Amino acid sequence: MPMTWKETRPGRWERPLSSLEKINLVNRNVDKALDRDQWAKTAAAKLTFDPSIGDPETALRIAWKQVRYNYPEIAAFPYQDTYMYRIGNPDQVALWVSATFSTCPNTTVDHLLGHIPRNEQMGLYWLPDSSEVLIRSPHYRLDGRGAIFCLDYLVESLSNLDPVLVFGGCAKNLSPSIDDALDIPLQATPRIEQAAEKRLATLKPRHPPLFMKDTPKSRLPGVTRRNFIKLSIKESRAVIKGCSSSSMDLTTALHAALITAVTKVCPPTEVQSFMASFHCDLRFLIRKPVSTRTAPTSCTSVLTTEVEVSPQTDFKSYYSQLAPVYATGYGPYLESTACYHEKLIQTHYSKSKTAGAAHPPDSDPQPRFGPLGMIDHQLRKDVKNAVRVTDFWFGGETLTRRKMVHSWMWDGQIVYSCCWNDNYWTEDVVVDFLEKIKETLIEEFQLVNGMSGLGL
């Protein structure tokens, strides 16, 4: 049984909230949009059902119950500084399924994405017209990889529509928090304080910042929208081969292409700062034999590094600045994680009567990068006599000027997806930005010669 979960009453289990859960409970709030949920995660999959499944909605409800049994955290809830899980009897579990499962006819993922109100529960949405499922959750509950874990187990569970689930035994599946799994100190020492302050300092640019120019229409946040672009299989293979032959890390190159695209949209006029922020999944640092490595919890932190851009810089210079940061990874920041996020809340999210709201880094317009890796290795595509997964998408609710760009590989294709708020940006701007990312990769890896006729 995980050390951080304790049975405080019969059927009720509790553990302290992790430092990442705490920051995500704070940064979900955006002024003038308190009925909405900044960074709420949305994962979608297009499914083809075997006729033996019968009614897909009934099958998905049964599978969703199995997801809760295997990952009971998805039904836990925060209370003050505690995460609490109640096992529930069969009637209570049935009520949970009814409350969290929705059938949505005559709609699309694009429509739902920007119109789901804030909800403390994780939800599963079935879109019968397009045969898609959509998992939606507040960020404090899970991150991108956690959402993929849930999707994968949902798909797997469709092969067993007569499960024997005794919910008194589900507590054994609770996973330790990321703080516990990585032994992150909760008490700060002078050395930890110094490290946290040093990381906070990296959020301040040394040069005038380079921004993409937004055009706000209102003082209120608008609707989250999405656009995505896919490289063809041949283009994707060429990028991967080009990275390999140049001894370049693929993820770093994909991020460098994003920065290059920003400089094409908004060319720098002098030495300026692009504050490159990206997601780091702390699961990869776990060495303990714990289930947190495959648990749908919040295990992602954001690293920010300053990249110098100027009229003389280019893709290769951005790559060279990013490469040591990606190569070093999150390890040097691990010990000060809890202290850093506590200071981040105090300095960037707290309000005071004299200064008003501090400036949260989530409101900056520079796109944030979220690399998800090869989804083919994380989400099973074919469950015999049950279901096939034919497409995948992931994104996050964004209620500020910050665009959220995720990238992944699916079916041999590199995908970039951008979530943006339509109060600040127009679709033409976002589409042009994504096209320039692709254009950069084609230029840098010399794909134009002999491949110029390839579409997306």
Q: What is the pLDDT of residues 388-402, one digit of tens each?
A: 999 999 999 999 999
Integer CA distances (angstroms), 299 to 22, 28, 77, 331, 455, in order = 12, 16, 17, 14, 36
Integer CA distances (angstroms), 6 to 141, 228, 299, in order = 19, 43, 21
Judge whether 210 lies within some domain. yes
Same domain assignment for residues 366 and 381: yes
**Average pLDDT for 232-243:** 95
Closest of 126, 146, 19 to residue 64, by C-alpha: 126
Note the pTM of the prediction, 2 decimals.
Answer: 0.94
Looking at 180, 212, 239, the residue that finishes a domain is: 180
Same domain assignment for residues 120 and 170: yes
Q: Is residue 433 predicted with pLDDT exceeding 60?
A: yes
**Average pLDDT for 290-317:** 96
pLDDT value of residue 167: 86
**Average pLDDT for 221-245:** 95
What percent of the chain is predicted at pLDDT more than 70? 95
Same domain assignment for residues 201 and 333: yes
Question: Tell me, what CATH number does 45's domain have?
Answer: 3.30.559.10
Question: Tell me, what CATH number does 198's domain have?
Answer: 3.30.559.30
**Average pLDDT for 9-35:** 92
Judge whether 404 lies within some domain. yes
**Average pLDDT for 430-445:** 96
Integer CA distances (angstroms), 435 to 28, 171, 231, 250, in order = 30, 47, 10, 19
pLDDT value of residue 295: 95
Same domain assignment for residues 84 and 210: no
Report, in angstroms and rounded to the nearest whole number, the Rg of the chain calculated over CA atoms. Answer: 22
Average pLDDT in the chain: 93
Same domain assignment for residues 205 and 129: no
pLDDT value of residue 104: 97
Please write the tens of the pLDDT for every residue from 173-224.
999 999 999 999 999 999 999 999 999 999 999 999 998 888 899 989 999 9
Judge whether 264 lies within some domain. yes
Residue pair 16/81 in contact (Cβ under 8 Å)? The answer is: yes
Same domain assignment for residues 200 and 87: no
Closest of 252, 290, 226, 276 to residue 4, by C-alpha: 290
Pairwise pLDDT comparison (448 vs 60), residue with the higher score:
60
pLDDT value of residue 3: 53
Judge whether 449 lies within some domain. no
Judge whether 393 lies within some domain. no
Judge whether 394 lies within some domain. no
Provide the residue range defining the domain that includes 408. 181-388+400-444
Judge whether 454 lies within some domain. no
Same domain assignment for residues 24 and 172: yes
Q: Kindly indicate the confidence band of residue 447, based on its pLDDT and cuts at 50, 70 and 90.
A: low
Same domain assignment for residues 188 and 328: yes
Same domain assignment for residues 208 and 171: no
CA–CA separation, 270 vs 252, rounded Å? 24
Looking at 180, 207, 229, the residue that finishes a domain is: 180
Same domain assignment for residues 343 and 240: yes
Looking at 148, 180, 212, the residue that finishes a domain is: 180
Domain count, the chain: 2
Q: Is residue 243 predicted with pLDDT exceeding 90?
A: yes
Integer CA distances (angstroms), 145 to 138, 229, 238, in order = 14, 21, 26
Same domain assignment for residues 232 and 188: yes
Judge whether 1 lies within some domain. no
CA–CA separation, 448 vs 395, rounded Å? 30
Same domain assignment for residues 208 and 318: yes
Please write the tens of the pLDDT for every residue from 85-133.
999 899 999 999 999 999 999 999 999 998 998 999 999 999 999 999 9
